[in-house]
Each structure stands twice: as structure tokens, then as C-alpha cells.
Structure 1
Amino acid sequence: MIRGEHPGVRIELELVDDPEDSLREVAQGRADLALVVVERDRTRDRTRDGIALAHLLDDPFAAVLPKGHPLAAQRVLDLPDLADEPWVASERPGHCLDPLLDACGAAGFSPNFAVRSEDYATAQGFVAAGLGIGAMPLLGLGNRHPEVVVRRLRNPEPIRAIHAAIRDPSPGQPALHGLLAALRGAASP
């Protein structure tokens, strides 16, 4: 869609570990847009340090259990019910993992990560092998391992908020505004 409406536009994508680096790239004009995870309890659309943050979606975490796990029969799990389980990490420490750690802290525990991975597919494989349980964002569970079940979490429900960051005020850039509109459209149910 964007390339058809703006054929001269070059789109480059880069995965950056620290959202502060992405925000700095946007603020300094080296990037036009960044997708970042920010704290959910902050204002959904806001300006920070000359950068406008546009809320795109909330991405809840779900429990990922081996099919034979005793809790697998339940459709919804209370987060504290997972407190004594060995956990499989699917994120490195940082902004993407923080909402889960914060929710676990609010539930009165800190997850015991027995196994660490940095991608969802590998983490699901570790869960399927019985090495622990996991909690992963729904966006990361598009391709599910056949030997795991995914269950909604509550009390509290961990959620990460995904935003688009652009310079504020953004100069007249129709392609950028078209991309932001496309991202909002893709993020809406």
C-alpha cells in the first residue's frame, strides 16, 4: 500500500534492542518512525522530548504450557497460580519483558527463569519439552508449537503497549503519515 501510493519512498527496517536508541534516532532525524514498547499506564498518545508517541495497540501476555500440564485444562489462569513453576524466558531483560515482571511483582512473586531464550519459537519448544512454562505476548504466538497450549492470564493481566514514535511536529511528510495510518489500521481489530 505505502509503496504504491509513494513509489519513491525507501523503507528500511532495523531491529534495535533498546527503545531509547530508537527514540534518539527519531529525535535526531536519522529515522522517521520507530515502533517501541512503552509503559502501558502512561498517556496513550503523548509527546515526550520532541517525539510524538501514538498508541497502536495493547499486546497482552498469555500463559504457554505443555499440553499435559495440570493447569492446561483451564481456559483462564490467575498469574499467581504460576508462581511456583519453573519459567522459560522468551525475552531478554528490558522494555518488552518489564510488563510481565511488573505483573508478577504485583501478584507477589518473581518468576524463576530456569531456561532463557530470546525468541518465541525457541521458547515454545522449551515449554513443549517440559522445561518450564512461559508467558509470551500474543503477537509472538502467531505460530504455535503443536505441543503447547496458550491460556489467558489475569489478576493481573500482563500487557505491553506498542507505540509509533515520530518527531513532533513532524514536517509535511505524506508517506510518513500514510505509514502511520497503515500501522494504525493493521493494529486495529
Structure 2
Amino acid sequence: MLDVRRMQVLRAVVTSGSVTAAAAHLGYTPSAVSQQVAALERQAGIPLLERVGRGVRPTAAGRLLADHAAVISRDLAEAETALADLRAGRTGRLAVRYFATAGAALVAPALAGLRREHPGVRIDLRMTDPEDPLKEVEQGRADLALVIAPRTRPREDVELIHLLDDAYDAVLPAGHRLASRETIALVELAEEQWVGSEPPGPCLEPVLEACAAAGFSPDFVVQSEDYPTAQGFVAAGLGIGLMPRMGLGPGPGAETAAGTGAVATAVAGGRHPGVVVRPVRDPRPVRSVYAAVRKVSLGRPPVRALLEALRQGAAPIQAGPIQA
């Protein structure tokens, strides 16, 4: 196999026209340069230089290898530049996975900010596998995934970073007997018919566990696995439900401090006008939302920037007031 460093020495000799000039350029002794060229000739199995007066000129083989050495130099320079851009977060690919309500509430505004800060980074954005939301991160096919607190610990090369605790609130028909309450004890909903809004899994478990702690099991008479449809069932009087704040969206009149008429948080679905939303207590169901990140990705500037944007987006969702 040809030695790339010896090829660069040969290129310096060909470019300068003499061993002495190449040695001065490279910071070597003329003897060291001659030894490197001789070793390369042995590898090539063919003469690379011929003497002309006090200088040298390349043979056909020498010219060929010198030309290839120039290409290698250009490729290495381009690789170094590309690596510097990737290291600084100016280029590259970022694979992000999310679940539906987190997509609208957290991911969309965070990625909008990331694109402004790192416009050269390509985003690969897809939904997580609901059966195994950590799989792509653990297999190295995603850098970051938003997940509900998993029951099993992820692999050692994956770090879980807590973003927020998303509380579940009672969703009632507008004319419900408890609609005028500021807060509702969970046990007061024990005899109600319920509209289910969660599939089996980590989003339904906080509801079932809280109801069990309050001493009852909810009577699900209608089932929907998306929040807008479930709110429509509640508004029609088919039952009540518990739904997380990220799935409900801001209530009527919600605004940001920065501008009148702006919605406080971008969320999936939004609030149905025919329902009333009230906090529950004793106990208060909560689902914890985490960013699962490959530890090797934590050193990348775009990943750090995305995590910071997710943290900033999570704060108003967790702290935001309830709007009826």
C-alpha cells in the first residue's frame, strides 16, 4: 500500500523541482526527503524521479502519484473544513422523534428556533414508535426523542433529561354540575361515565393510578385516542374525561406577555368551546415528559440548542394557568 505522507513529499519535490528546495519547504533535511522518495519508489515498484542537471523531474509514474497527492491534499482540506462546520453546528443532520401532543406543544417552536440559530443543520423529524419510543435513540438512529417517563431504564449510552410534568385536568360538559368549581377532588368523578382519550400505555397509566389512589376505577363508556375527538364526546354530554394540559391547549383569550392575540402555547387540537376544564386534586395525575438523548450527541451544539429551546418551551406549559 502506498504511503500518503511519502506521496506528499514526492509532490513537494515535483512542485519545487529539487530535493533541496522541497526539504526547505517541508522542514526536512535533503537526506530525509531522498529517503522518503526512495521508500515510495520501492512501494511503487517503478522509478518516480530522474535527474536533470542539478535538479530532478518526475517520471510518468512520479507525475501520476504527485497529481494524486494533490487530490488527496484537497480532499483532506475539505474534510477538515466539513468537520469544523459539523463540530461548530453549522452543518450536519439531527434526528428527532416525538409523540403527537409534544410535537405541537414543544417540538414545533423549538425546531423553529433551532433553524434560525443553525440554518445549515438538516432535521429528520418523525413520530416515535408508541410501542418502543426509546428504540431509535438506543439503536443510534435518532439523536433525541421526546418520551413519557419510561417504566424501564434506558441503556447506559442514553440520558433522560426531564422537561416538564404535564398535569391532567378534568374536562367537563359546559353545563356539568361541577363546572362552577375552581378545583375538583378526583373522587367526585367516581360515579361519572368517562370518555377515554388515551390508548393503553404510559399516558393512560397516570389516570388509572390516580383513580385507584382515590378509591375507584373509571367507567369508560366511550373511547377515543385523540384529544379533539374526546373533547367533542365530552361536549356532547357522553361523559367526562381527564386529559393532559399539552393535549388541551390554551383556553379562550389566552395570550402571551409579548403580544395581544398571540396564543400562549402551540398545542395539538386546541380547546373545544363546549367543554370546561378544571384542575383536579387528591391526587393530581401527572405524566412526566423527558428528552431521551444519546450521550454521544450531547456535545453537538445543535443538540444542546434544541434541549435549551425545549426547556424554555416547557416552562410556560407546566406553569401556565387553567383557562375555562
Q: Same fold (TM over 0.5)?
A: yes
Q: Is the 8 A contact 2:164 2:289 kept in 1?
A: yes
* Structure 2 counterpart SS, 1:12: strand
Give a deviation string over 1:63-92, Cα, whole Å, max 9, x none.
000011111111100101111111001111
Aligned counterpart, 1:15: 127
TM, length-normalised to structure 1: 0.90
Residue type matched to 1:175 in 2?
P
Deviation per CA, 1:127-170, whole angstroms, max 9, x where unpaired? Answer: 01000001100111112111110010000000010010101243
1:187 maps to 2:314: yes
Q: Which residue of 1 aligns with 2:288?
A: 161
- 1:22-73: per-residue Cα shift (whole Å, max 9, x none)? 2121111100000001169x9xxx9753211111011100000001111111
Give, in whole Å, the separation in 2 of the partners of 1:181 and 1:60. 22
Structure having the higher helix fraction is 2
Amino acid at match of 2:114: I
Distance, in Å, in 1 between the alignment partners of 2:135 and 2:154 is 14
User: Where do 5+ consecutive residues of structure 2 fail to align?
Assistant: 1-112, 250-269, 317-324
- The counterpart of 1:5, out of the listed 117, 130, 137, is 117
What is the TM-score with the length of structure 2 in the denominator?
0.54
Q: How does 1:13-52 map to 2 (within 5 A)?
A: 13-18=125-130, 21-38=132-149, 48-52=155-159
Matches within 5 A, 1:2-151: 2-18=114-130, 21-38=132-149, 48-142=155-249, 143-151=270-278
Q: Rg larger in 1 or in 2?
A: 2
Q: 1:171 to 1:119 in 2, by over 3 A?
A: closer
Aligned partner of residue 75 in structure 1, secondary structure: coil
Aligned partner letter, 2:148: V
Q: How many residues get paired?
A: 184
| Moved >6 Å (runs of 4+) | none
Residues 165, 136 of structure 1: CA spacing in aligned structure 2 closer, same or farther, 3 A cutoff?
Answer: same
Distance 1:171 1:64, change over 3 A: closer
More strand by share: 1
Judged with a 3 Å threshold, the aligned counterparts in structure 2 of structure 1 residues 16 and 171 are, in CA distance, closer, same or farther, namely: closer
The root-mean-square deviation of aligned C-alpha atoms, in Å, is 1.9
Q: Does the Cα contact within 8 Å between 1:36 and 1:163 map onto a contact in 2?
A: yes
